[in-house]
Amino acid sequence: MGIMVQNLSKDFGDFNALKNINFTIEQGEFAALLGPSGCGKTTLLRMIAGLEATMAGEIYFDQQNVTHQSAQLRDIGFVFQNYALFRHMTVAKNIAFGLRIKASVFKRDSLTINRRVKELLELVQLETLADRYPDQLSGGQRQRVALARALATKPKVLLLDEPFSALDAKVRKDLRRWLRNFHHDINVTSIFVTHDQEEALEVADKIILMNQGKIEQIGTPEQVYKKPQTAFVAHFLGDVNLLHGYIERNQLHIGDFKQDMSTQGSWADQVTIAYVRPHEIAVFKSLSLRHDSNGSSGQLVAKIMRLHTAGPTVFLELSLAHQPKPIDVSIPFSQYQQNHFMVGDIVYLQPLLLNIFVQDELIEFMI
C-alpha cells in the first residue's frame, strides 16, 4: 500500500512540532524518517498510525483518505523502541496475541492461528524458541518477536519506532542487516524512525530527513549523502570538513585550489563555504600542476598534524593555510604505506567532490 502525506502540521499548545509535511512512499518501499532528537519523527509516525490526532493536512493510504480513521481500522503493524512483549506469555503466545484478539474478525480457529504462528516464527528465524519467555531471550531476539507479532495479522503497513535503540552496537548492526533482507522478502510498505544516520543509510530505500519539524530533504541514501541540498543535511549525514573560499569572476577559490564555475552559469562574486567528506579528498606527496578537464587546477597545501591507522584506513588530521580549523582526511592503508606519510609532512590536496553553499543554499555540486 502506498502512503501519501499532504500538508501535515501539528501543534502541541504553542509549540509547532510539525510544519507542512509532504511526501509519498510507494508500495513495498522501506522509508526512514531520520533526524535529530525532538525533530518530530515519532509524532509524524504516530499520526500515520492514527495514534495522534491530525490538526491540518491529510494522510492517504493508496487513494483512501485515512486522516480521521481510527488506528484499529488502518491495518498497521507497529514495533516500538522497547520490545513491549508480554512477560508472562511465551514467544508463541506473544505472536498469537494479535491474532486471537482479531480471531472473531478473521474467523480464525486455533489450528489456523497455530499455523500462522509457526509461519511467523520461521520468518523471523526463531522456530526453536517458541516456548521461551521474553526474559529468556536476547534483546535482538525479543525485537524479532515484536516484529513477528506486528506482522501476525498481515498488515499493509509496518511502522517501526527506533526498533534497535535499546540494543548494543554489534547486535544493532546485525539486526539492521537482517531487517533489510527481511523487508526485501516480505515487501510490506514500511516506515522506520531513527536518529542514526548510518542505520538509515544502510537500511532504507528512501530517506526523509527532518529538522525542527520540517523536511530538509527526501531522496535515496545515495542522493542525500552525495547531494545534500542544505548545509544541515551535509552536516547531519556523516563527517564533513568545512572549507572557506570565495567566488571571483566565476572562479571558485579555496586556497590554491581553483574551479571554473562558468559552465554552470554566471555567479556573483561572493564568499562561499564548501563541504567535503574525509574520503573525498585526494592526498599527494608532491605538487602537481595539471589542469583537469572539469576546470579545476591547483591544490591545497596542507601539513600533517596527526595520523592514526584503523584497520584498512588511515586518518590524517591536516592544517591548511587560510582555513581556521584543521580538516580530517581518510586514505586507504596501502596509499599511506606507498607514500610513507609522516607527521610534519607537507602534502597537496585535491577535493574530489565538493558541495558548495551560499547562505545555507546549495549552489553547486561537482566532481
Amino acid (one-letter) located at 367: I
Helix (H, G, I), strand (E, B) or coil at 105: helix
Q: Which is nearer to ligand ATP, 38 or 332 (CB)?
A: 38
Element of type H or E holding 61: strand 56-61
Ranges within 219-258 binding ligand ATP (CB under 6 A): none
Q: Which is nearer to ligand ATP, 43 or 241 (CB)?
A: 43
CB of 173 to ligand ATP, least distance (A): 19
Q: Which is nearer to ligand ATP, 213 or 255 (CB)?
A: 213
Q: Which stretch binds ligand ATP (CB under 6 A): 32-40, 66-74, 88-96, 218-226?
A: 32-40
Please give the Cα distance from 44 to 50 (Å, whole number): 10
CB 21 within 8 A of CB 44: yes
Q: What's the chain's length in residues?
A: 367
CB of 362 to ligand ATP, least distance (A): 24
Give me the phi and psi of 302, to 5 degrees please. Answer: -140, 160
Element of type H or E holding 116: helix 110-123
Ranges within 107-166 binding ligand ATP (CB under 6 A): none
Element of type H or E holding 214: strand 214-219
Among 74, 183, 195, 206, interactor with ligand ATP by CB under 6 A: 195
Please give the Cα distance from 348 to 78 (Å, whole number): 52
CB 103 within 8 A of CB 110: no
CB of 52 to ligand ATP, least distance (A): 8
Q: Which stretch binds ligand ATP (CB under 6 A): 33-41, 82-90, 123-131, 217-225?
A: 33-41
39 is an interface residue for ligand ATP by CB under 6 A: yes
41 is an interface residue for ligand ATP by CB under 6 A: yes
Q: Which is nearer to ligand ATP, 214 or 227 (CB)?
A: 214
CB of 221 to ligand ATP, least distance (A): 19
Pick from 1, 12, 2, 6: nearest CA to 52: 12
Amino acid (one-letter) located at 50: G
Q: Which is nearer to ligand ATP, 35 or 77 (CB)?
A: 35
Binding-site size for ligand ATP (CB under 6 A) equals 12
Q: Which stretch binds ligand ATP (CB under 6 A): 10-18, 54-62, 215-223, 262-270?
A: 10-18
Strands 3-12 and 15-25: antiparallel
296 is an interface residue for ligand ATP by CB under 6 A: no
Give me the phi and psi of 25, to 5 degrees please. Answer: -130, 125
CB of 311 to ligand ATP, least distance (A): 31
17 is an interface residue for ligand ATP by CB under 6 A: yes
43 is an interface residue for ligand ATP by CB under 6 A: yes
- Cα 139 vs. chain centroid, distance in angstroms? 22
From start to end of 222-326, where are the E strands? 241-248, 251-254, 257-260, 270-276, 281-284, 296-297, 300-310, 313-320
200 is an interface residue for ligand ATP by CB under 6 A: no
Q: Which residues bind ligand ATP (CB under 6 A)?
A: 12, 15, 17, 35, 37-43, 195
